[in-house]
Amino acid sequence: MTTIAELLSKVEERREELIELAKTLISFETPAPPARNTKEAQAFVARFLEEHGFSIEMWDVYPGDPNVIGIRKGTEAEAHKSLIVNGHIDVAEISPDEKWELDPFRPFVRNGRLYGRGAADMKGGLAGALFAVSLLDQAGIALPGDLIFQSVIGEEVGEAGTLECCKRGSTADFAVVVDTSDLHIQGQGGVITGWITVKSEKTYHDATRRQMIHAGGQVVAASAIEKMMKLISGLQELERHWAITKSYPGFAPGANTINPAVIEGGRHAAFIADECRLWITVHFYPDETHEEVAREIEEHLVKVASGDVWLRDNPPTFSWGGSSMIEDRGEIFPSLEIDPADPGVRLLAASHQTVIGREAEIDVSPTVTDGGWLGEAGIPTVIYGPGDLMNAHAVNESVAVEQLVDYTKVLLQFIYQWTHEKK
């Protein structure tokens, strides 16, 4: 029977196959936006998993964007620990004016790096994970615990394909999100978007402005745009307060930000603006929830409004989150806090050290992934994948081939060891 050490050596021997698999995944054009383009790529993943002993669940989250869950039942599943390997098949959008050296979906290797959209974020990670499970199957190695492979859609635009997996009851004793982490074992803060709306019950001609702002005008009214400026100032005060009073190990001070990203208001120049809407993006720390953060902002802005004679009677309203930046202009990425003493974290760190020869770095990602949804579902989860954030979403995106090979080895060893762990 093939040993795990022999399988690790096969990753080296067959690295060209690993690279070709990554190239194949990159060659599927799956940018989001525009999205609705992952069907062929997901069909490829489903066939690959099925050929290597997985039963397949595949369903449309959106038309043309299906999720895939592959399940390889353990031989002694009741007694051994189960594992989810999770990754997203969509990649970052590409603007027409981006100056790529070659077509971003025609991957190539040069000077030890694999180039193409998704190489770092995160088709390299998906390729390594798929290659690892194929080697286990080809060697005839039976895993005692269940292995669940989730290839999901929509991560780049907040469509949370992973959340849809959780809703279907897909669960395990531990999960690894194979997203961009430069082989660090990571948790993450969270992100939530929200809309703040200021609205007047009445509309006014722009020629009435003098009566609203000068002595004796006798019209108690206001421009919603100008009143939103007061709320933006309130958000800046709260942001500064958070920077002073909140912190989390591994994050730079003030990483919990409130970004006024988009403002919409007014009808046209002949009206006093009777409505103004502000779209904000909020970053928060791993020990906070998106519900808590939204509540803090609402409470603060209601107090700001209470100090204004017009906003007191026309208070702001709030709408938080959303299921898609494309469909409803909103998203939520729950935070993910990891415990270095968790058995899964410790075993993954040990696998990393055994294979790579140096201690694993356990820290926090400055960005967000779908991992928070798995954590929110009660599954101990980490982010661990090849590629770095300087390359993610970048023009001429790339990943180091050597890192991709190392990553595949670590994941191969971890899958084997974790699914052999007794519950």
Percent of the chain residues topping a pLDDT of 90: 92
Instruction: Check whether residue 359 and residue 213 sit in a common domain.
Output: no
Alpha-carbon 306 to chain mean position: 37
Model confidence at 1, in pLDDT bands (50, 70, 90)? low
269-310 pLDDT, tens digit each: 988 889 999 999 999 999 999 999 999 999 999 999 999 999
> Does residue 349 lie within any of the structural domains?
yes
End position of a domain, from candidates 271, 296, 320: 320
- Based on the residue annotation, tell me whether 90 is a catalytic residue of this protein: yes
CA–CA gap between residue 398 and residue 383 (Å, rounded): 19
Does the pLDDT at position 201 exceed 80? yes
Q: What confidence category does residue 95 fall into, taking pLDDT thresholds of 50, 70 and 90?
A: very high
Express each pLDDT in 138-168 by its tens digit. Answer: 999 999 999 999 999 999 999 999 999 999 9
Is 264 contained in some domain? yes
- For the segment 253-282, the average pLDDT, to the nearest whole number, is 95
How far is Cα of residue 254 from the mean position of the Cα atoms in its chain? 21
- pLDDT value of position 82: 98
Is residue 25 domain-shared with residue 57, that is, in the same domain? yes
Are 194 and 149 members of one domain? no
- Whether residue 227 has pLDDT greater than 70: yes
179 and 198 in one domain? no
Q: What's residue 199's pLDDT?
A: 96
* Residue 239 maps to a domain: yes
Stretch 3-21: mean pLDDT: 95
The answer to whether the beta carbons of residues 383 and 125 sit under 8 Å apart is no
Domain range for 382: 4-188+336-419
Whether residues 299 and 404 share a domain: the answer is: no
CATH number of the domain within which 218 lies = 3.30.70.360
* Residues 267 and 413 grouped into a single domain: no
Residue 330 lies in a domain: no
- Looking at residues 107-128, what average pLDDT do you find? 98
Does residue 329 lie within any of the structural domains?
no
Computed from CA positions of residues 197, 200, 204, 207, in that sequence, does the dihedral angle turn out positive or negative?
A: negative
Q: What is the mean pLDDT of residues 311-318?
A: 96
Distance CA 267, CA 41 (A): 44
In a domain, 53, yes or no: yes
Provide mean pLDDT across the span 253-269: 96
Q: Shortest CA distance to 123 belongs to which of 222, 41, 43?
A: 41
Q: Is 146 a catalytic residue?
A: no
User: What is the average per-residue pLDDT within 229-236?
Assistant: 98
For residues 12 and 129, state if they share a domain. Answer: yes
Q: How far is residue 381 CA from its own chain's centroid? A: 13
Domain end residue (candidates: 320, 345, 375): 320
Q: Which of 373, 326, 320 is nearest to 63 (CA)?
A: 326
Residues 17 and 122 in one domain: yes
Provide the residue type at 374 as one letter: L
The predicted-structure confidence for 100-114, as pLDDT tens digits, reads as follows 999 999 999 999 999
pLDDT at 341 over 80: yes
Residues 6+ positions from 164 with CB-CB distance below 8 Å: 61, 67, 152
Name the one residue in this structure whose structure tokens are 């009214």: 221
pLDDT of amino acid 213: 78
For residues 213 and 71, membership in a common domain is answered with no
Q: Say yes or no: 8 and 154 in one domain.
A: yes
Give dist(CA 178, CA 188) in Å, integer. Answer: 14
Alpha-carbon span 356 to 65, nearest angstrom: 36
137 and 20 within one domain: yes
Share of the chain above pLDDT 70, in %: 100
With beta carbons less than 8 A apart as the criterion, state whether 279 and 261 touch. Answer: yes
| Cβ neighbours, 10 Å, residue 266 | 15
Domains: count for the chain: 2
Q: Would you say residue 256 has pLDDT above 90?
A: yes
Is pLDDT of 218 > 80?
Answer: no
Is residue 255 helix, strand or coil? coil
| Domain harbouring 357, CATH code | 3.40.630.10
Task: Check: CB of residue 278 under 8 Å from CB of residue 249.
Answer: no
In a domain, 326, yes or no: no
Q: Provide mean pLDDT across the span 209-227.
A: 81
Q: Are residues 210 and 62 in the same domain?
A: no
| Residue 328 counted as domain residue | no
Q: Would you place residue 211 in the very low, low, confident or very high pLDDT band (cuts 50, 70, 90)?
A: confident
Average pLDDT across the chain, whole number: 96
The neighbour count for residue 270, using CB atoms within 10 Å, is 8
How confident is the model over 370-388, as pLDDT tens digits?
999 999 999 999 999 999 9
* Residue among 65, 121, 155, 159 flagged as catalytic: 155
Count of alpha carbons within 13 Å of 252, Cβ hemisphere only?
4
pTM: 0.95
- CA distances, 207 to each of 225, 255, 269 (Å): 17, 44, 10
Q: Please name the helix (run of DSSP H) or strand (run of DSSP E) that holds residue 31, with its range, or none.
A: strand 31-32
